[in-house]
Structure 1
Amino acid sequence: MSSWPTNPAHHRWLDQHTRELLAFGRRTADPAGGARWLDARGRPDPRQPVSTLLSSRMTHVYAVGTLLGVPGAAPIAELALRGLTGRLCDEQHGGWFPALGDRTVKACYDHAFVLLAGASATSAGLTGGPALLAAAEEVFVRRFWDEDAGRCVDTWNAGFTVLDGYRGVNGNMHAVEAMLTVAGVTGDDAWLERALRVCRFVADTARAHDWRIPEHYDEHWRPLPEFHRDQPDHPFKPYGATVGHGLEWSRLFLHAEAARPAESWLAEAARSLFDRAVRDGWAVDGRPGFVYTTDWTGAAVVRDRMHWVTTEAISAAAALHRRFGDEQYATWYRTWWDYAAAYQVDHEHGSWFHQLDAENVPTETVWPGKPDLYHSLQATLTARLPLTPMLAPAVAQKLTGPV
């Protein structure tokens, strides 16, 4: 039998799980435009506003569903997208507000996902996709890309007149994913060049810190190693090294290398990031699962198991196996799918538990409900796709293979 990342029978299971996830999230679309946060049963959570982040992620997810030929996916994607071209968009100053009722800031993290949504919607031929992509490209280059630094700034005020001094790697990470996707959809290599510059910075900085990635910086890009020590489980900017980001960057480096093979340094950096994240994060407290964060010695800080970390581990292992053919990555891939099936996939109500405690029991202190499908759906596709182009254009080119 072939190893799981290349096993046709496993690919059929992955395809089934993709469609189960898309069925779970079908109630996300808001009739007025945008996507709603889903609770543990897949129902819209009235306590959570329609946000740019979830509207972008679900536009991307259901654009991919459209490309996979899933009935009903396109109307969901187009409703989610309508929120981005309508009530979440700032017609006065440009860009997108964080959420309905929140007009405080404009964040790189959110805008990176709008860029991804526009690219995926364009790839899927969705109404409004090209217009959203063009608007997102213009805003992102003008407001968030720092050409001199070769990476993205993080947060503006709502009017784009005051730039916060904080600089962060998380927004840059999702910007790289979006940039590589835009390059694959439009053929504009300027986006690839930007992505490679960010990757070089992250690789150099991680190498200098034993392959743990400093996430937080001041306006001069000096590391802030103690940032958010008082908020160690912050959902987007936690203290210390974020294990899942080491895995996610590992995969992104391989996508970037596949798009530009001459940048051979990316492959070995991907291996190093993966190895460090696994050593620091996997089952380090005697129980299966990845801890969320560690300190700068590699000691666990937040031991809760976030579902997105497992999905990124799965995707990184699949990418590394495709790149190197080393069976250790196939073994890790199978190990983490087995773990997900045992603990994180909700076999009764659908989708994945977004957070488990250190005993692998579902909890909701950081992530209540099951807000979206972005990470879990991507984990069902990585093993079935080449490393370039990125997910939506690869599915558009029918590169998933037979199921």
Structure 2
Amino acid sequence: MIYMSVWPTSQVHHRWLDQHSRDLLAFGRRTADPGGGARWLDARGLPVPGRPASALISSRMTHVYGIGALLGVPGAGPVAAQSMAGLTGRLRDTVHGGWFSAVTDDGTPEPGKSCYDHAFVILAASTATQAGLPGAAELLADACALFLERFWDDRTGMCVDTWDTSFTTLDEYRGINANMHTVEAMLSVASVTGDQAWTERALRICRFVVTTASAHHWRIPEHYDSAWTPILEFNADKPDHPFKPYGATIGHGLEWSRLLLHAAASPLGGNEEWLTTAAAELFDRAVTDGWAVDGNPGFVYTTDWSGRPVVRDRMHWVAAEGINAAAALHALTGRQVYADRYREWWDYSAEFLIDHEHGSWFHQLDAANVPTDTVWPGKADLYHAFQTTLGPRVPLWPMLATAVDQHLA
């Protein structure tokens, strides 16, 4: 079916998005941990007992509720501050530097330090700085300095992935997932601080990804060795890994599509054709390989290198990234096809992913669009769904927190 109304730019639709963003914030309001940080939420929005405090969830919820504070939602600021307290408190390694991935209630940290987590700490700190949370600017400065020292490899223009806890031994694995979220974080720092050196670094990562994806028919190799040689069969025995699945990840093609458009809209991007062309190519490949390819609506999680589905479950974040990518491409081109996809995927999300009884979005559906929890139990955080309510309402530059502050606050 072809729709002629243009939802991404409709003010009536934007009012619905605004209400949905506030509904999501209401669902997650119990996330703040009295001990500092944010807690993993179950299907009804209640904290999961016994689950360790997590740098990832604490960072994502600091980001989400920091934006909520910018939107003027009462109570959002205290949730953001308490979530950030985990990053300035027990999740911070005061001996070796950086942040633990998780810490149990008795203070035992999870071993290792990951680029993925540290990218989200930077994102959280940049949003908290934009929102004016006390201590956020200091957290941002410390996180950026640590990141440049430990994770940014200026020689390759890419980020390394995982260290041991003491930053003594660096793992040989290199990954695109961590670099993808680093691009988001770097562009966010540039938006908040005006320091375009962060944009320069982000553009170097983007160049690598575009070059590599174009050589693989716009399917993005996710896993590499220390020389940045793709390992195409990595985790073939763990195809549904939540962070490092085998094969091409459909949602990452969509997420990279959007990030390339943010980079193109930046002061250093100049809407360069290599960025905007690659964004469209990645979007088209993800849609061709991933959307409703097995007879049911929804995006499959992963495919092999010929485009054949491997994991057919539907992850909520993939649909969310598809919606935002379609909105971004429509903003750039004005083409109706992107508006049609945008509406189609919101209709799908409303039918299958949004939990109209208990709130938020189901994080995982099976191939028949029935909720399941083999990879993502409960409703851990609001990051992807919440951003989907904001992307269509702000320009591609600056990045989200700054754009909300300038255009929606």
2:71–2:408 Cα contact (<8 Å) kept:
no
Aligned to 2:371: 362
Aligned to 1:119: 126
Aligned to 1:94: 97
Aligned to 1:21: 24
For residues 32-72 of structure 1, the C-alpha deviation after alignment (integer angstroms, 9 at most, x for no partner) is: 10000000000000142110000000000000000000000
In structure 2, what is the Cα distance between the partners aligned to 1:67 and 1:134?
21
Cα pair distance change 1:262/1:14, threshold 3 Å: closer
For residues 233-282 of structure 1, the C-alpha deviation after alignment (integer angstroms, 9 at most, x for no partner) is: 00000000000000000000000000021533100000000000000000
Where do 1:325-340 residues align within 5 Å? 325-340=334-349
For residues 314-341 of structure 1, the C-alpha deviation after alignment (integer angstroms, 9 at most, x for no partner) is: 0000000000100000000000000000
2:9 corresponds to which of 3, 6, 22: 6
Aligned to 1:142: 149
In structure 2, what is the Cα distance between the partners aligned to 1:267 and 1:323?
9
Where do 1:172-191 residues align within 5 Å? 172-191=179-198
For residues 130-166 of structure 1, the C-alpha deviation after alignment (integer angstroms, 9 at most, x for no partner) is: 0110111011100000000001000000000100000
Shift of 1:127: 1.2
In structure 2, what is the Cα distance between the partners aligned to 1:345 and 1:294?
25
Aligned to 1:267: 276
Where do 1:380-391 residues align within 5 Å? 380-391=389-400
- TM-score, with structure 1 as normaliser: 0.98
Aligned to 1:200: 207
User: What is the total number of aligned residue pairs between the two structures?
Assistant: 400
AA matched with 1:23: A
In structure 2, what is the Cα distance between the partners aligned to 1:128 and 1:335?
42
1:318–1:382 Cα contact (<8 Å) kept:
yes
Aligned to 2:80: 77
Where do 1:2-401 residues align within 5 Å? 2-100=5-103, 101-259=108-266, 260-261=269-270, 263-397=272-406, 399-400=407-408
In structure 1, what is the Cα distance between the partners aligned to 2:286 and 2:360?
25
Segments of 5+ residues of structure 1 without an aligned counterpart are: none
In structure 2, what is the Cα distance between the partners aligned to 1:264 and 1:197?
15
In structure 2, what is the Cα distance between the partners aligned to 1:153 and 1:296?
24
In structure 1, what is the Cα distance between the partners aligned to 2:278 and 2:51?
39
AA matched with 1:141: L
2:130–2:401 Cα contact (<8 Å) kept:
yes
Segments of 5+ residues of structure 2 without an aligned counterpart are: none
In structure 2, what is the Cα distance between the partners aligned to 1:249 and 1:276?
12
In structure 2, what is the Cα distance between the partners aligned to 1:285 and 1:265?
32
2:18–2:389 Cα contact (<8 Å) kept:
yes
- TM-score, with structure 2 as normaliser: 0.97
In structure 2, what is the Cα distance between the partners aligned to 1:48 and 1:92?
24
Which of structure 1's runs of 4+ aligned residues deviate more than 2 A? none
In structure 2, what is the Cα distance between the partners aligned to 1:238 and 1:28?
28
SS at 1:221 equivalent: coil
Shift of 1:2: 4.6
In structure 2, what is the Cα distance between the partners aligned to 1:400 and 1:169?
32
The percent of aligned pairs where both chains have the same amino acid is 68
Shift of 1:388: 0.2
In structure 2, what is the Cα distance between the partners aligned to 1:138 and 1:366?
33
1:89–1:97 Cα contact (<8 Å) kept:
yes
In structure 2, what is the Cα distance between the partners aligned to 1:27 and 1:146?
38
1:81–1:128 Cα contact (<8 Å) kept:
no
In structure 2, what is the Cα distance between the partners aligned to 1:261 and 1:165?
35
